A and B are shown apart, each in its own frame.
Chain A
């Protein structure tokens, strides 16, 4: 899925007044994803949300490719990412989870910067900057020209990035990018994610959640595990010096 939908949040005040109460009534664990245009704005949002009952944690969107100011400009500079996380850290007692962009060369260094700045966890990945052209009209398919790519097309890259971050930081990782099946969930967990998020798949199949939960439970049972944490980061990388077999293609 290639989108240029932007951030259509209703604003923090309306969110607290209109959206939070029903979530609270359902005893939902609410992680609020916030985005600002300045460091000050992130900190201000964090402060306001810290006073609202029923918020479990804050996810910092420093990686949205669809807005011109803020967001990704913090996510693409190590100093910017560090400053935003540190400022929010000072502003709130809530767990702080910066969400990393994959549109950088070395995502692990951003995870490290986030950890050093006091992040409680990181989540990744946001969408990949991408473009599609209608060949008949030769015009970009999106009026924004660029958009964010999500869904199954990005999964192997996201898995690689989760794996890289797992090697780089000790804080928990929330992994995502193209999860469509329970095996995809398991793949992210094995790569090193402590938890996963599912975005695009919900749009294709609103019944995806029970299917993923069923499949994950079946996987754990089949492999004799009692809990999800038993498989986190359990990828087995063969000793390369010992293998001489040619690399196969994975589809």
Chain B
């Protein structure tokens, strides 16, 4: 039987798998006969959607929210997963960039029709995303990566976001609230200009705790201060999962605070990603081989992350700057 055909039902998780299928030593699959197998290769792969830009809401001089039509991705995405994005025109950078799926867009019947990106300008592609006009297209590959675990309804879930690190929490908050898990969002930024969508989370029934470094909204200082107070006050019997996404320093502080009190964390790391598919090894992060293990290994965060248990990350070996 044709190898391409044989594998038709199997999900392809990475380029490695795709490569071994194309290279299959099968008399039926050699050129030019292999073409019949193309469709088999595609099954189980993430969707590559030429997504129509529905709107671009510029929240400030740095932040914007782009809404995209992409039902295939919207229907498949789980909390904390990401897409690899590229503008498909001459002059656009070659490599795609990773972005968390922010809101899921739905039609009147509740069917997923697309999703939005929460974007912060830092360079070439993020500037282009800020400038997008409705009617343009964005090539989106996804959903990719390991999702957040969704805490049991009986426990509590806390989300800790710094700036644009809010992005993966919209899908998580929806999943938590849909099953009735009490959820809290600790949300910090430099100033009020870095905090958006607090009302969106409140409308879902999420308790929101805010902090800004300049005191322009919420508590003055770092978001880890109220987090630490509430952690200390929480009854030991209350089950809790803490999720964090934001600057590395913030995630590290959250992981260490929680670990000191025996609480579990999940952090969503944001290393540079060249492909998002396990092919290039640009995204490796040092992760301990077991919960208490001294030994660590480099793993690809696009495949094994971006979400990792906070106590597994070897923080002082993580590349700086992100």
Which residues of A approach B to under 8 Å, CB–CB? 1, 3, 5, 8, 22-23, 26-30, 151-152, 200, 202-207, 209-210, 213-214, 216-217, 220-221, 227-228
Option from A23, A151, A207 in Cβ contact (under 8 Å) with B20: A23
- Shortest A35–chain B CB gap in Å is 14
- Pick from A28, A200, A210, A213: contact of B94, CB under 8 Å: A200
CB contact between B41 and one of A26, A29, A209 (< 8 Å): that residue = A209
> What residue of chain B has the Cβ atom nearest to residue A180's Cβ?
B94
Least CB distance from A33 to B in Å reads 12
User: Which residues in B have their C-beta under 8 angstroms from that of A221?
Assistant: 32
Rounded to whole angstroms, the CA-CA distance of A8 and B86 in the bound complex is 26
> Shortest beta-carbon distance, B298 to chain A, in Å?
7
Q: Is the CB of B96 within 8 A of A213?
A: no
Residue pair A213, B20 in contact (C-beta under 8 Å): no
B86 cross-chain contacts in A, Cβ below 8 A: 204
Q: B100: shortest Cβ distance to chain A, in Å?
A: 20
Q: Please state if A28 and B48 are interface contacts (CB–CB under 8 Å).
A: no
B283 nearest in chain A by CB position: A5
Check if A26 sits within 8 Å of B96, measured CB to CB: no
Q: Is the CB of A209 within 8 A of B22?
A: yes
Chain A residues with CB under 8 A of B37: 210
Contacts of A8 in B (CB 8 A): 281, 284, 298
- For the A-B complex with A28-B25, A202-B279 known, give 17 more contacts whose Cβ atoms are closer than 8 Å: A3-B274, A3-B280, A5-B282, A26-B3, A26-B24, A27-B25, A27-B26, A202-B275, A202-B277, A204-B275, A206-B46, A206-B279, A209-B19, A209-B41, A213-B35, A216-B31, A227-B31
Note all chain B residues with C-beta closer than 8 A to A206. 15, 18, 45-46, 48, 141, 275, 277, 279
A210 contacts B38, CB within 8 Å?
yes
**A228 CB contacts on chain B under 8 angstroms:** 31
Are B95's CB and A1's CB within 8 A? yes
Residues of B within 8 A of A213 (CB): 22, 31-32, 34-35, 38
Q: Is A29's CB under 8 angstroms from B25's CB?
A: yes
**Bound state CA distance, A122 and B186, in angstroms?**
57
Interface flags, B13-52, vs A, CB<8A=1, else 0: 0010011111111100001101101110110011010000
- Minimum CB–CB distance from B221 to chain A (whole Å) comes to 29
Q: Does B232 contact A (CB under 8 A)?
A: no
**How far apart sit A160 and B282, CA to CA, in the bound complex (Å)?**
29
- The 27 sampled A-B contact pairs (Cβ below 8 Å) are A1-B95, A5-B282, A8-B298, A26-B7, A26-B21, A27-B24, A28-B23, A28-B25, A151-B94, A202-B19, A203-B96, A203-B274, A203-B275, A204-B95, A204-B275, A207-B42, A207-B48, A209-B18, A209-B22, A210-B35, A210-B39, A210-B42, A213-B22, A213-B31, A213-B32, A216-B32, A217-B31
Assuming the contacts A1-B274, A206-B48, asked whether A29 and B32 have C-beta atoms less than 8 A apart, the reply is: no
Bound-state CA distance A213–B26 (Å) is 15
Ranked nearest first, the 10 interchain pairs of A and B with the lowest CB-CB distance are A210-B38, A203-B275, A217-B32, A28-B20, A209-B22, A27-B25, A8-B281, A29-B25, A28-B23, A5-B281
Residues in A whose Cβ lies below 8 Å from that of B141: 206
Least CB distance from B143 to A in Å reads: 14
A228 to B34, CA, bound (A): 13
Partner of B277, one of A3, A30, A203: A203
User: For A22, what are the chain B residues with a Cβ–Cβ distance below 8 Å?
Assistant: 20
- In the bound complex, how far is the Cα of B34 from the Cα of A248, in angstroms? 38
Query: Which residues 65-119 in B have Cβ within 8 Å of A in the complex?
Result: 86, 94-96
Select A204's contact among B32, B41, B96, beta carbons within 8 Å.
Answer: B96
Residues of A contacting B34 in the complex (Cβ-Cβ under 8 angstroms): 213
Q: Mark B194-214, 1 if CB is under 8 A from A, else 0.
A: 000000000000000000000
**CB-nearest residue of chain B to A23:** B20
* Identity of the chain A residue whose Cβ is nearest the Cβ of B15 in the assembled complex: A202
CB distance from B18 to the nearest CB of A (A): 6
Chain B residues 274 to 298 lying within 8 A of chain A, measured CB to CB, are 274-275, 277, 279-282, 284, 298
Q: Choose among B20, B22, B280 the residue that contacts A5 (Cβ–Cβ < 8 A).
A: B280
Within the complex, the shortest CB–CB distance from B126 to chain A, in Å, comes to 15
For residue B298, which residues in chain A have a CB less than 8 angstroms away from its CB? 8
Given the complex of chains A and B, what is the CA–CA distance between A8 and B25 in angstroms? 27
Contacting residues, chain A, for B284 (C-beta < 8 A): 8
Q: How far is it, in angstroms, between the C-alpha of A22 and the C-alpha of B48 when the chains are bound? A: 27
Give bound CA distance, A227 to B281, whole Å: 35
CB distance from A73 to the nearest CB of B (A): 22
Residue of A30, A151, A203, A217 contacting most chain B CB atoms (<10 Å): A203
